[in-house]
Amino acid sequence: MDRSADVQIENHQVPADRESVARQLIQRLLLDAATIADASVRAFLESGAAQSAGPWQQALGKLVERLSLLERLESDFERALLTERLESLRELAYGASHEINNPLANISSRAQTLLRDETDPDRRKKLATINSQAFRAHEMIADMMLFAKPPDLDRRQTNLCVLVARVLEEISDRANQQGTALMVTGTNEDCWLNADPTHLSVALTALCRNSLEAISAGGQISISLVDREVEVELSVTDTGPGIPAEVRQHLFDPFYSGREAGRGLGFGLSKCWRIIELHGGNMDVHSSESECTRFTIRLPRTEEAKESSPPLVA
């Protein structure tokens, strides 16, 4: 996020200890916590006459440049750590799902066999519960497999505007039940992308359901679609409770248990991250405990998608 701020230190007389002025200036720059687009340094003698501050100006410019570089490096490092951690979890999920799926299938099969021959109502109820819970566990394993070893993408020319409309229709009943307003912007014109529509629909639906669960009642979910020529930006913003920093860094970990109910539980966000990664895109989350939460997906535009886009009619 680009931010700007004016940092001014005026009416300072140059004391014998010149370092104190430099220290004040640097402290003001660091405390401001902003990206500085422009700055100037003016020094005055005790008589009021101006003194050249060229060296200071150069030093200040280098400081601003290095601070900006440091911020970018920190962001890239955090993204690399997240990717490495999720890749390790992917291997764990694949191994665990393979080991669990076979005995789970046996449990479900035995329960169904016993259920067919059982006449006692109480036993039938218990067997039905075993079968339904086994099926639920199987769905969780399927989510783990999608995260760990997803199928090959079936890429085709996909109209994201149509995809967004279908996802909104799918979640509209749940949103109406809890009184959550659904808003959408940037979908008035067609936006084409060479992508797997089924997988992208799963990813966007997971984001929207995550927002619905976080809000619980009332509130608003906004979906924005922006075509930036080289990439398509899709964001989901909700008015639910913000996400603390210590939770955000684990938000896409499928096995992290420190999340509060209603925000990022299960494999929804992990699946979403995995699908976006398969498309060569990236995903960010911006949130705090006192503001809205925004998930942003960026998907690269391919030359094939650009060429296949219908021509604009003036």
* Overall pTM > 0.85: no
Predicted local distance difference test score (pLDDT) of residue 64: 67
d(CA 202, CA 275): 8
Cβ(274)–Cβ(283) below 8 Å: no
More confident residue, 264 or 239: 239
pLDDT at 262 over 80: no
The structural domains of the chain, ordered by start, are 18-75 (no CATH), 78-148 (1.10.287), 156-308 (3.30.565.10)
Helical H runs in 152-284? 160-177, 197-215, 245-248, 268-278
Predicted local distance difference test score (pLDDT) of residue 240: 84
Which of 138-147, 180-189, 191-200, 276-285 shows the lowest mean pLDDT across its residues?
Answer: 138-147
Predicted local distance difference test score (pLDDT) of residue 177: 92
% of residues, the chain, pLDDT over 70: 61
Residues 168-221 have pLDDT tens digits of 999 999 999 999 999 998 766 788 899 999 999 989 998 998 889 888 788 899
% of residues, the chain, pLDDT over 90: 22
pLDDT at 299 over 60: yes
Predicted local distance difference test score (pLDDT) of residue 164: 93
Residues 68-104 have pLDDT tens digits of 777 677 666 666 666 666 666 667 767 777 778 788 8
Cβ(250)–Cβ(237) below 8 Å: no
Which of 8-22, 94-108, 164-178 shows the lowest mean pLDDT across its residues?
Answer: 8-22
SS3 80: helix
d(CA 194, CA 142): 25
* Dihedral, 67, 70, 71, 76 alpha carbons, nearest 10: 160
H or E element, residue 279: none
- Mean pLDDT along residues 115-122: 89
Predicted local distance difference test score (pLDDT) of residue 140: 74
Residue 51: pLDDT band with limits 50, 70, 90: low
Q: Following DSSP, what letter does each residue of 218-246 receive, concatenated?
A: S-EEEEEEEE-SSEEEEEEEE-S----HH
User: Cα angle vertex 36, ends 35, 38, to 5°?
Assistant: 155
pLDDT at 105 over 60: yes
Bridge partners for 227 per DSSP: 232
Q: Looking at residue 255, what DSSP letter applies?
A: T
The token pair at 115 is: 């259920």
Residue 233: pLDDT band with limits 50, 70, 90: very high
pLDDT at 61 over 70: no
Residue 268: pLDDT band with limits 50, 70, 90: confident
The token pair at 222 is: 């906004």
User: What's the mean per-residue pLDDT of the chain?
Assistant: 74
Residue 85: Cβ within 10 Å count: 14
- Going from the C-alpha of 22 to that of each of 35, 36, 45, 56, 59, the distances in angstroms are 19, 17, 15, 9, 10
Bridge partners for 158 per DSSP: 193
Residue 4: pLDDT band with limits 50, 70, 90: very low
